[in-house]
Amino acid sequence: MHDISICSGINRTLLNVQYLQLPIIRLSGYLLTQSMQVLLNWDIHNMTFRAVQCDFKRVNVLSFIEFHLTYEPCVFMPFPYTFRLLLKTMGRLDGKVIVLSAAAQGIGKASAIAFAKEGAQVTATDINGEKLKELDGIPGIKTKVVDVTKKDQVEALAKDFDYVDVLFNVAGFVHHGTILECEESDWDFTMNVNVRSMYLMIKAFLPKMLARKSGNIINMASVASSIKGVVKRCVYSTSKAAIIGLTKSVAADFLEQGIRCNCICPGTVDTPSLRERIQDRPDPEQAFKDFMARQKTGRMCTAEEVAHLCVYLASDESAYVTGTEAIIDGGWRL
Protein backbone atom coordinates (compact mmCIF):
# COMPACT_ATOMS: atom_id res chain seq x y z
CA MET A 1 0.00 0.00 0.00
CA HIS A 2 1.35 3.41 -1.00
CA ASP A 3 0.00 6.78 0.13
CA ILE A 4 -0.23 9.85 -2.07
CA SER A 5 -1.51 13.18 -0.79
CA ILE A 6 -2.62 15.87 -3.20
CA CYS A 7 -4.61 19.09 -3.12
CA SER A 8 -7.15 20.06 -5.70
CA GLY A 9 -10.20 22.18 -6.28
CA ILE A 10 -13.19 20.02 -5.51
CA ASN A 11 -14.99 21.13 -8.67
CA ARG A 12 -12.15 20.41 -11.07
CA THR A 13 -12.42 17.49 -13.46
CA LEU A 14 -8.67 17.13 -13.97
CA LEU A 15 -6.14 16.61 -11.18
CA ASN A 16 -2.38 16.72 -11.63
CA VAL A 17 0.09 15.59 -9.01
CA GLN A 18 3.79 14.72 -8.74
CA TYR A 19 4.70 12.65 -5.70
CA LEU A 20 8.37 11.77 -5.12
CA GLN A 21 9.36 9.15 -7.70
CA LEU A 22 5.82 8.46 -8.82
CA PRO A 23 4.67 9.75 -12.19
CA ILE A 24 1.94 12.26 -12.89
CA ILE A 25 -1.52 10.95 -12.12
CA ARG A 26 -4.59 12.19 -13.92
CA LEU A 27 -7.99 11.52 -12.38
CA SER A 28 -10.80 12.64 -14.64
CA GLY A 29 -14.55 12.77 -14.39
CA TYR A 30 -14.78 11.76 -10.75
CA LEU A 31 -17.93 12.12 -8.68
CA LEU A 32 -17.91 12.34 -4.90
CA THR A 33 -20.51 9.70 -4.11
CA GLN A 34 -20.62 6.83 -1.67
CA SER A 35 -19.73 4.28 -4.35
CA MET A 36 -17.98 5.18 -7.52
CA GLN A 37 -16.23 3.68 -10.53
CA VAL A 38 -13.27 5.79 -11.59
CA LEU A 39 -10.99 5.47 -14.58
CA LEU A 40 -7.49 6.49 -13.52
CA ASN A 41 -4.77 6.79 -16.15
CA TRP A 42 -1.11 6.51 -15.16
CA ASP A 43 1.37 7.43 -17.88
CA ILE A 44 4.93 6.19 -17.49
CA HIS A 45 7.19 6.76 -20.48
CA ASN A 46 4.18 6.58 -22.80
CA MET A 47 2.98 3.39 -21.15
CA THR A 48 -0.50 3.39 -19.67
CA PHE A 49 -2.47 1.20 -17.34
CA ARG A 50 -5.66 1.90 -15.48
CA ALA A 51 -7.47 1.56 -12.19
CA VAL A 52 -11.05 0.49 -12.62
CA GLN A 53 -12.22 0.20 -9.03
CA CYS A 54 -12.34 3.03 -6.53
CA ASP A 55 -13.83 2.73 -3.06
CA PHE A 56 -14.75 6.00 -1.41
CA LYS A 57 -15.05 7.12 2.16
CA ARG A 58 -14.91 10.46 3.91
CA VAL A 59 -12.02 10.64 6.35
CA ASN A 60 -12.70 14.06 7.83
CA VAL A 61 -15.86 16.15 8.10
CA LEU A 62 -14.03 19.10 6.61
CA SER A 63 -12.04 18.22 3.56
CA PHE A 64 -10.34 14.86 3.24
CA ILE A 65 -11.53 12.26 0.79
CA GLU A 66 -9.90 8.81 0.71
CA PHE A 67 -9.70 6.60 -2.36
CA HIS A 68 -8.48 2.99 -2.36
CA LEU A 69 -7.30 2.21 -5.89
CA THR A 70 -6.61 -1.25 -7.29
CA TYR A 71 -4.84 -1.50 -10.65
CA GLU A 72 -5.54 -4.32 -13.02
CA PRO A 73 -2.50 -6.16 -14.44
CA CYS A 74 -0.79 -4.70 -17.48
CA VAL A 75 2.33 -5.25 -19.56
CA PHE A 76 4.35 -2.79 -17.53
CA MET A 77 3.20 -4.13 -14.17
CA PRO A 78 1.90 -7.70 -14.64
CA PHE A 79 0.32 -7.97 -11.17
CA PRO A 80 -2.42 -6.14 -9.26
CA TYR A 81 -1.15 -3.00 -7.56
CA THR A 82 -3.01 -1.19 -4.79
CA PHE A 83 -2.36 2.16 -3.17
CA ARG A 84 -4.32 4.77 -1.33
CA LEU A 85 -4.89 8.27 -2.66
CA LEU A 86 -5.70 10.99 -0.13
CA LEU A 87 -7.35 13.93 -1.80
CA LYS A 88 -7.57 17.15 0.18
CA THR A 89 -10.34 19.15 -1.37
CA MET A 90 -10.02 22.90 -1.56
CA GLY A 91 -12.92 24.52 0.25
CA ARG A 92 -14.51 27.69 -1.06
CA LEU A 93 -13.26 29.56 2.02
CA ASP A 94 -9.86 27.91 2.53
CA GLY A 95 -7.54 30.08 4.58
CA LYS A 96 -10.07 32.81 5.29
CA VAL A 97 -10.37 34.18 8.81
CA ILE A 98 -14.01 34.85 9.68
CA VAL A 99 -15.57 36.47 12.75
CA LEU A 100 -19.31 36.39 13.30
CA SER A 101 -21.79 37.32 16.02
CA ALA A 102 -24.96 35.61 17.29
CA ALA A 103 -23.49 32.21 16.46
CA ALA A 104 -25.08 30.20 19.26
CA GLN A 105 -28.20 29.27 17.30
CA GLY A 106 -30.19 29.85 14.14
CA ILE A 107 -28.62 31.53 11.13
CA GLY A 108 -25.43 32.39 12.99
CA LYS A 109 -24.81 28.81 14.08
CA ALA A 110 -25.64 27.36 10.67
CA SER A 111 -23.32 29.88 9.02
CA ALA A 112 -20.43 29.19 11.40
CA ILE A 113 -20.66 25.47 10.61
CA ALA A 114 -20.97 26.12 6.86
CA PHE A 115 -17.95 28.45 6.91
CA ALA A 116 -15.84 25.87 8.73
CA LYS A 117 -16.86 23.08 6.36
CA GLU A 118 -15.58 25.22 3.50
CA GLY A 119 -12.17 25.56 5.14
CA ALA A 120 -12.42 28.88 6.99
CA GLN A 121 -10.96 29.58 10.41
CA VAL A 122 -14.04 30.75 12.28
CA THR A 123 -14.38 32.68 15.51
CA ALA A 124 -18.00 32.32 16.58
CA THR A 125 -19.21 34.80 19.19
CA ASP A 126 -22.42 35.14 21.15
CA ILE A 127 -23.66 36.55 24.44
CA ASN A 128 -25.08 33.11 25.34
CA GLY A 129 -22.07 31.12 26.48
CA GLU A 130 -23.99 27.93 27.24
CA LYS A 131 -25.55 27.66 23.80
CA LEU A 132 -22.26 28.68 22.19
CA LYS A 133 -20.60 25.59 23.69
CA GLU A 134 -22.51 23.48 21.16
CA LEU A 135 -19.97 24.64 18.56
CA ASP A 136 -16.98 23.60 20.66
CA GLY A 137 -15.07 20.71 19.13
CA ILE A 138 -16.13 21.39 15.55
CA PRO A 139 -12.95 21.59 13.44
CA GLY A 140 -12.22 25.11 12.28
CA ILE A 141 -14.39 26.85 14.89
CA LYS A 142 -13.29 28.72 18.00
CA THR A 143 -15.88 30.25 20.31
CA LYS A 144 -15.81 33.39 22.41
CA VAL A 145 -18.47 34.97 24.59
CA VAL A 146 -18.94 38.59 23.51
CA ASP A 147 -21.69 41.16 24.01
CA VAL A 148 -21.53 43.08 20.74
CA THR A 149 -23.45 46.00 22.25
CA LYS A 150 -20.51 46.67 24.59
CA LYS A 151 -17.80 48.81 23.00
CA ASP A 152 -15.02 47.56 25.28
CA GLN A 153 -15.79 43.90 24.50
CA VAL A 154 -15.95 44.53 20.76
CA GLU A 155 -12.64 46.40 20.77
CA ALA A 156 -11.02 43.65 22.86
CA LEU A 157 -12.26 41.07 20.36
CA ALA A 158 -10.78 42.99 17.43
CA LYS A 159 -7.40 43.20 19.19
CA ASP A 160 -7.21 39.40 19.20
CA PHE A 161 -6.72 39.39 15.41
CA ASP A 162 -3.88 40.52 13.18
CA TYR A 163 -6.40 40.53 10.36
CA VAL A 164 -9.89 39.31 9.48
CA ASP A 165 -11.03 38.44 5.97
CA VAL A 166 -14.76 38.35 6.66
CA LEU A 167 -16.86 40.03 9.34
CA PHE A 168 -20.43 38.74 9.58
CA ASN A 169 -22.76 40.79 11.79
CA VAL A 170 -25.73 38.63 12.72
CA ALA A 171 -26.89 39.82 16.15
CA GLY A 172 -30.45 41.11 16.20
CA PHE A 173 -33.70 41.41 18.10
CA VAL A 174 -37.29 41.26 16.85
CA HIS A 175 -39.82 43.53 18.53
CA HIS A 176 -43.50 42.79 17.88
CA GLY A 177 -45.76 45.80 17.65
CA THR A 178 -46.83 48.99 15.90
CA ILE A 179 -45.34 52.39 16.67
CA LEU A 180 -48.08 52.90 19.30
CA GLU A 181 -47.04 49.64 20.97
CA CYS A 182 -43.35 50.51 20.91
CA GLU A 183 -42.10 52.23 24.05
CA GLU A 184 -38.94 54.34 24.02
CA SER A 185 -37.15 51.55 25.85
CA ASP A 186 -38.19 49.08 23.11
CA TRP A 187 -36.97 51.48 20.44
CA ASP A 188 -33.63 52.10 22.15
CA PHE A 189 -33.02 48.42 22.88
CA THR A 190 -33.80 47.32 19.32
CA MET A 191 -31.67 50.00 17.69
CA ASN A 192 -28.82 49.23 20.10
CA VAL A 193 -28.79 45.51 19.33
CA ASN A 194 -29.63 45.66 15.64
CA VAL A 195 -27.78 48.76 14.42
CA ARG A 196 -25.35 50.10 17.00
CA SER A 197 -23.74 46.67 17.44
CA MET A 198 -22.91 46.60 13.72
CA TYR A 199 -21.55 50.14 13.93
CA LEU A 200 -19.25 49.04 16.77
CA MET A 201 -18.12 45.85 15.04
CA ILE A 202 -17.42 47.48 11.69
CA LYS A 203 -15.59 50.39 13.28
CA ALA A 204 -13.40 47.99 15.29
CA PHE A 205 -12.48 45.62 12.44
CA LEU A 206 -12.46 47.88 9.39
CA PRO A 207 -9.08 49.58 10.07
CA LYS A 208 -7.27 46.24 9.87
CA MET A 209 -9.04 45.45 6.62
CA LEU A 210 -8.03 48.82 5.20
CA ALA A 211 -4.42 48.21 6.21
CA ARG A 212 -4.42 45.12 3.97
CA LYS A 213 -6.62 46.72 1.30
CA SER A 214 -8.86 43.70 1.56
CA GLY A 215 -11.97 42.97 3.56
CA ASN A 216 -15.48 41.59 3.34
CA ILE A 217 -18.33 42.69 5.61
CA ILE A 218 -21.72 40.99 5.66
CA ASN A 219 -24.62 42.41 7.66
CA MET A 220 -27.87 40.68 8.56
CA ALA A 221 -30.82 42.80 7.45
CA SER A 222 -34.33 41.63 6.50
CA VAL A 223 -37.03 41.85 3.87
CA ALA A 224 -38.99 43.56 6.66
CA SER A 225 -37.25 46.88 6.09
CA SER A 226 -37.26 49.40 3.27
CA ILE A 227 -37.97 46.42 1.00
CA LYS A 228 -41.39 45.49 2.38
CA GLY A 229 -43.75 46.92 4.97
CA VAL A 230 -44.71 44.27 7.52
CA VAL A 231 -47.45 44.65 10.12
CA LYS A 232 -46.38 44.94 13.77
CA ARG A 233 -42.71 45.22 12.91
CA CYS A 234 -42.29 48.99 13.29
CA VAL A 235 -38.98 49.39 15.11
CA TYR A 236 -37.61 46.09 13.77
CA SER A 237 -38.24 47.16 10.16
CA THR A 238 -36.81 50.60 10.89
CA SER A 239 -33.63 49.06 12.27
CA LYS A 240 -33.25 46.70 9.32
CA ALA A 241 -33.75 49.56 6.86
CA ALA A 242 -30.97 51.36 8.73
CA ILE A 243 -28.73 48.32 8.25
CA ILE A 244 -29.34 48.43 4.51
CA GLY A 245 -28.33 52.09 4.56
CA LEU A 246 -25.26 51.33 6.67
CA THR A 247 -24.27 48.56 4.26
CA LYS A 248 -24.49 50.77 1.19
CA SER A 249 -22.65 53.60 2.92
CA VAL A 250 -19.71 51.41 3.94
CA ALA A 251 -19.62 49.81 0.48
CA ALA A 252 -19.51 53.21 -1.23
CA ASP A 253 -17.01 54.81 1.15
CA PHE A 254 -14.40 52.05 0.98
CA LEU A 255 -14.93 50.42 -2.41
CA GLU A 256 -11.66 51.74 -3.83
CA GLN A 257 -9.73 50.52 -0.77
CA GLY A 258 -10.61 46.89 -1.44
CA ILE A 259 -13.55 46.59 0.95
CA ARG A 260 -16.82 44.85 0.08
CA CYS A 261 -19.98 45.21 2.15
CA ASN A 262 -23.27 43.43 1.52
CA CYS A 263 -26.34 42.58 3.55
CA ILE A 264 -28.60 39.55 3.61
CA CYS A 265 -32.36 40.07 3.67
CA PRO A 266 -34.24 36.91 4.65
CA GLY A 267 -37.96 36.47 4.84
CA THR A 268 -39.35 34.15 7.51
CA VAL A 269 -36.67 31.72 8.69
CA ASP A 270 -37.49 28.73 10.87
CA THR A 271 -35.12 29.26 13.79
CA PRO A 272 -35.23 28.75 17.58
CA SER A 273 -35.75 32.50 17.91
CA LEU A 274 -38.86 32.38 15.74
CA ARG A 275 -40.23 29.40 17.65
CA GLU A 276 -39.71 31.26 20.94
CA ARG A 277 -41.54 34.32 19.64
CA ILE A 278 -44.43 32.16 18.47
CA GLN A 279 -44.71 30.55 21.90
CA ASP A 280 -44.73 33.98 23.55
CA ARG A 281 -47.83 35.02 21.60
CA PRO A 282 -51.27 34.76 23.29
CA ASP A 283 -52.32 32.09 20.78
CA PRO A 284 -49.18 30.25 19.59
CA GLU A 285 -51.12 27.94 17.28
CA GLN A 286 -52.74 30.85 15.46
CA ALA A 287 -49.44 32.72 15.37
CA PHE A 288 -47.80 29.77 13.61
CA LYS A 289 -50.67 29.61 11.11
CA ASP A 290 -50.27 33.33 10.43
CA PHE A 291 -46.57 32.89 9.70
CA MET A 292 -47.25 29.95 7.39
CA ALA A 293 -50.05 31.79 5.57
CA ARG A 294 -47.60 34.34 4.21
CA GLN A 295 -45.19 31.71 2.86
CA LYS A 296 -45.87 31.63 -0.87
CA THR A 297 -43.69 28.54 -1.26
CA GLY A 298 -45.70 26.69 1.37
CA ARG A 299 -42.81 26.49 3.80
CA MET A 300 -40.39 28.65 5.75
CA CYS A 301 -36.78 29.18 4.84
CA THR A 302 -34.22 27.17 6.82
CA ALA A 303 -31.17 28.56 8.57
CA GLU A 304 -29.02 26.29 6.42
CA GLU A 305 -30.41 27.83 3.23
CA VAL A 306 -29.43 31.28 4.46
CA ALA A 307 -26.01 29.89 5.40
CA HIS A 308 -25.46 28.79 1.79
CA LEU A 309 -25.97 32.39 0.70
CA CYS A 310 -23.59 33.53 3.43
CA VAL A 311 -20.89 31.20 2.12
CA TYR A 312 -21.28 32.67 -1.36
CA LEU A 313 -20.98 36.24 -0.10
CA ALA A 314 -18.00 35.30 2.08
CA SER A 315 -16.20 33.59 -0.79
CA ASP A 316 -14.23 34.97 -3.71
CA GLU A 317 -17.05 33.81 -5.97
CA SER A 318 -18.80 37.07 -5.04
CA ALA A 319 -15.70 39.23 -5.53
CA TYR A 320 -17.59 41.63 -7.82
CA VAL A 321 -20.59 41.93 -5.50
CA THR A 322 -20.81 44.87 -3.09
CA GLY A 323 -23.42 47.25 -1.75
CA THR A 324 -26.24 44.81 -2.41
CA GLU A 325 -29.27 43.50 -0.53
CA ALA A 326 -29.14 39.74 -1.07
CA ILE A 327 -32.79 38.73 -0.72
CA ILE A 328 -33.74 35.19 0.28
CA ASP A 329 -37.46 35.22 1.02
CA GLY A 330 -39.15 32.64 -1.20
CA GLY A 331 -40.89 35.45 -3.06
CA TRP A 332 -42.59 36.90 0.03
CA ARG A 333 -41.82 40.47 -1.06
CA LEU A 334 -43.56 40.00 -4.44
Q: Residue 86 and residue 94: Cα distance in Å, rounded? A: 18
Q: What is the three-class DSSP state of 33?
A: coil
Do the beta carbons of residue 299 and residue 250 sit within 8 Å? no
Q: What is the three-class DSSP state of 124?
A: strand
Do the beta carbons of residue 59 and residue 86 sit within 8 Å? yes
Q: Residue 289 and residue 46: Cα distance in Å, rounded? A: 68
Residue 199 is among the residues annotated as catalytic for this protein? no
| Contacts of residue 208, Cβ cutoff 8 Å, sequence gap at least 6 | 158, 161, 162, 163, 164, 215
- In the set 71, 81, 163, 236, the catalytic residue is 236
Q: Residue 303 and residue 114: Cα distance in Å, rounded? A: 11
Query: What secondary structure letter does DSSP report for 73?
Result: P
What beta strand segments (E) does the chain contain?
A: 3-9, 14-19, 22-28, 35-36, 40-44, 47-58, 64-71, 81-90, 97-100, 121-126, 141-145, 166-169, 215-220, 259-266, 269-270, 301-302, 325-328
Distances (CA, A) of 267 to 129, 270, 294, 333: 27, 10, 10, 8
Closest CA to 57 of 28, 25, 87, 14: 87
Q: What residue type is assigned to position 306 of the chain?
A: V
| Contacts of residue 101, Cβ cutoff 8 Å, sequence gap at least 6 | 108, 125, 126, 146, 148, 168, 169, 170, 171, 197, 201
| Contacts of residue 185, Cβ cutoff 8 Å, sequence gap at least 6 | none
| Catalytic residue set | 236
